[in-house]
A and B are shown apart, each in its own frame.
Chain A
Amino acid sequence: MTIEQLSVFLENKPGKLAEALESLAAAGIDLRALSLADSENFGILRIIVDKPARALKILQDEGYGVELVDVIPVAVDDEPGKFAAALRVLADAGVAVEYTYVFVAPKAGKAGKAYAVICADDAVAAVRCLESNGVDMLTSEEMYNL
């Protein structure tokens, strides 16, 4: 129940983020979720897109350092404490969360649901643990079509 996220290495220079996204837009690739991690010297753009393989090829051809990373898309009720509860089951099972980001799905998302992407150190264990605790996860098809 993991999906592919693209991690893109960006140099810390004005316009780099826009350039990367413009390249994808020009090919008609739709963004589903996005997060940007930054350090002193560089940034890492993390995106979920509708056509990951194609996006990977485009970015590689443009000379970006790109990696496909397995992440877990979850859906929780949009109520206080629900996402915390999902993270708690992982913590109790000893699975470390490397990073996570929340996103909205205005077009096809279900009313009352909030969505998040989780990157865990052990994706298989994380999925097993979320599943057995009844946390909703999306299939790649659902995710890419959100």
Chain B
Amino acid sequence: MSAKENYYQPEAECMSREKMHDLQSERLITQVKHVYANVGYYREKMDASGVRPEDVKSIADLGKLPFLTKDDLREAYPYGLLAVPREAPVRIHSTSGTTGKRVVAFLTQQDIDLWYDCCARALAAAGATPGDVVQISYGYGLFTGGAGLDGGSHKLGSLTLPMSSGFTDRQLQFMCDLGATIICCTPSYAEFLAETIEERGIGDSVKLKAGIFGAEAWSNEMRLRLEQKLGIKAYDIYGLTEITGPGVSFECSQQEGLHINEDHFVAEIINPETGEVLPDGEKGELVFTCLTKQAFPLLRYRTRDISILSRKECQCGRTLAKMSRLMGRSDDMLIIKGVNVFPSQIETVLIDYGLSSNYQLVIDRVNHSDTLEVRVELTPEMFSGSGTVGAVEKHERMLRDAIKNMLGIAAKVKLVNPKTITRSEGKAVRVIDNRKV
């Protein structure tokens, strides 16, 4: 254990792998029985795949259980997946629905308690102590962001500022007057706050030392920018309402992946096409199983988030497995030259280069081999100076190398004139797949 590192529940966070295996197995066996007995929807799924609760004897049997997807949650809406009597849960949270029905998740008082513990671990890992002033600028309400970090901060005994989102003047006034040391919000709102602080020249009155940013994808460049502008260390946090909200996993001082609270949530990585479980180190779709939740205990829930798992020892002393920063959504996955490619990975490269994320991927098959062309709009910066071929080619080359680094396969970068990639009113056409399969 590192002396400097700050844990909230070291017995869980630094538990030996063997003990964790036993704990997970014991909890999984109980959980499967609980779900089979109380959730008709999942019982039918298990029956259909010929799995009996007693077939699950340890965590190694997890793969026998059927998956749940967002479609299942919509189908079972609102009470179909509730595993306790209607009067047992004391709270709901709900996802911001984009299409169709919203997803509603239920929590008992114990569920809330364990969730807040998970958030307290994240806060402690970011350096929060009872003496800290924690400003929570996530939205409160149906969204889990505000409630989760708020609860975690209370558990830790820090002074909690329940700001909710927006009202920037008030945010900055409290941040300065009360000496907030830790800020929790979305990375984009953190950037907005940082810019406003800079504009108003009030940087000297800001006492922040750390930020916990989640609920949105962000890049490492954005992290460096936020750290530099706000004078903080910036930590990632991950979660989803269906599983519990923020605190499913969190970053430690090493800032190299997020530790999963494995005593409560088991993570698997699967091939999104086949459902096959992949070994550590391979990229695929994250699947979570809730081990301790009472009211809404999803088993093998497919998140559609793409990540990589690692069980390598972490310098911070935690033994909890780590997941990499999210790499995309499985819905958008393309297979090019046998490699899984996510358009969002290319978007990340472009954003890191300060380019508009208005790009287009053209995939083709030439002589039985896939080709990938990335069309990017020319910017004035690329074309400034003497307008030489070499200067423009340099930008092409830089982008090409960065994309190859990110994807692991070569792509051709094609610069096109400004505003020539259609900004359609509806969903932008990002991918043109000309392969005849």
Are A65 and B383 in contact, CB atoms less than 8 angstroms apart?
yes
B392 at the interface (CB under 8 A from A): yes
A47 to chain B, nearest CB (A): 11
Which of B43-51, B238-246, B411-419 is the interface stretch? B411-419
A41 at the interface (CB under 8 A from B): yes
Interface residues in A39-80 by Cβ distance below 8 A to B read 39, 41-42, 44, 46, 63-65, 67, 69
Are A39 and B378 in contact, CB atoms less than 8 angstroms apart?
no
| A9→B378 CA distance, assembly (Å) | 9
Chain A residues near B415 (CB-CB < 8 A): 9, 41-42
Chain B residues near A65 (CB-CB < 8 A): 378, 380, 383, 417-418
Contact indicator per residue, chain B 355-392, by CB within 8 Å of chain A (1) or not (0): 00000000000000000000000101001111111001
Chain A residues near B2 (CB-CB < 8 A): none
B195 at the interface (CB under 8 A from A): no
Chain A residues near B384 (CB-CB < 8 A): 67
Are A63 and B417 in contact, CB atoms less than 8 angstroms apart?
yes
Are B388 and A98 in contact, CB atoms less than 8 angstroms apart?
yes
B424 at the interface (CB under 8 A from A): no
A93 at the interface (CB under 8 A from B): no
Are B383 and A7 in contact, CB atoms less than 8 angstroms apart?
yes
- Contacts A69-B386, A121-B386 given; does A9 touch B392 at CB 8 Å: yes
Residue in chain A with minimal CB distance to B412:
A41
Contact indicator per residue, chain A 77-102, by CB within 8 Å of chain B (1) or not (0): 00000000000000000000011000
- Contacts A9-B383, A42-B415, A63-B420 given; does A99 touch B388 at CB 8 Å: yes
B396 at the interface (CB under 8 A from A): yes
Report which residue of B385, B388, B412 has the largest number of chain A beta carbons within 10 angstroms of its beta carbon: B388
Are A44 and B386 in contact, CB atoms less than 8 angstroms apart?
no
Range, interface on chain A: 10 to 19
Helix, strand, loop or mixed for chain B's interface? loop
Chain B residues near A46 (CB-CB < 8 A): 387
Residue in chain B with minimal CB distance to A60:
B418
Chain B residues near A9 (CB-CB < 8 A): 378, 383, 392, 415, 417
Chain A residues near B416 (CB-CB < 8 A): 11
A3 at the interface (CB under 8 A from B): no
B394 to chain A, nearest CB (A): 11
Chain A residues near B393 (CB-CB < 8 A): 39
Range, interface on chain B: 20 to 34
Report which residue of B396, B412, B414, B417 has the largest number of chain A beta carbons within 10 angstroms of its beta carbon: B417
Contact indicator per residue, chain B 303-338, by CB within 8 Å of chain A (1) or not (0): 000000000000000000000000000000000000
Chain A residues near B418 (CB-CB < 8 A): 63, 65
Are B419 and A63 in contact, CB atoms less than 8 angstroms apart?
yes
Residue in chain B with minimal CB distance to A120:
B386
Contact indicator per residue, chain B 397-413, by CB within 8 Å of chain A (1) or not (0): 00000000000000011
| A63→B414 CA distance, assembly (Å) | 17
Are A11 and B392 in contact, CB atoms less than 8 angstroms apart?
no
A25 at the interface (CB under 8 A from B): no
| A19→B265 CA distance, assembly (Å) | 60
Chain B residues near A99 (CB-CB < 8 A): 386, 388
Contact indicator per residue, chain A 25-40, by CB within 8 Å of chain B (1) or not (0): 0000000000001110
Are A98 and B386 in contact, CB atoms less than 8 angstroms apart?
yes
Are B396 and A67 in contact, CB atoms less than 8 angstroms apart?
no
Are A44 and B420 in contact, CB atoms less than 8 angstroms apart?
no
Residue in chain B with minimal CB distance to A46:
B387
| A59→B419 CA distance, assembly (Å) | 13
- Contacts A63-B418, A64-B417 given; does A44 touch B387 at CB 8 Å: yes
Are A67 and B420 in contact, CB atoms less than 8 angstroms apart?
no
A103 to chain B, nearest CB (A): 18
- Contacts A9-B378, A9-B415, A11-B416 given; does A39 touch B386 at CB 8 Å: no
| A81→B235 CA distance, assembly (Å) | 66
Chain A residues near B419 (CB-CB < 8 A): 63
Contact indicator per residue, chain A 1-14, by CB within 8 Å of chain B (1) or not (0): 00000010101000
Are B387 and A69 in contact, CB atoms less than 8 angstroms apart?
yes
B393 to chain A, nearest CB (A): 6
- Contacts A9-B417, A63-B420 given; does A119 touch B389 at CB 8 Å: no
A11 to chain B, nearest CB (A): 6
What are 24 A-B contacts defined by CB distance under 8 Å? Answer: A7-B386, A7-B387, A11-B417, A38-B389, A39-B389, A39-B392, A41-B414, A41-B415, A42-B415, A44-B387, A44-B388, A44-B392, A63-B417, A63-B418, A63-B420, A64-B417, A65-B378, A65-B383, A65-B417, A65-B418, A67-B384, A69-B387, A98-B386, A99-B388
Enumerate the 7 nearest inter-chain pairs by beta-carbon distance, A residue then B residue, closest first: A7-B387, A65-B378, A98-B386, A37-B389, A39-B389, A67-B387, A65-B383
A sample of 10 more A-B contacts (CB under 8 A), given A41-B412, A63-B420, is A7-B386, A38-B389, A39-B389, A41-B396, A41-B414, A44-B389, A63-B419, A65-B378, A67-B380, A119-B388
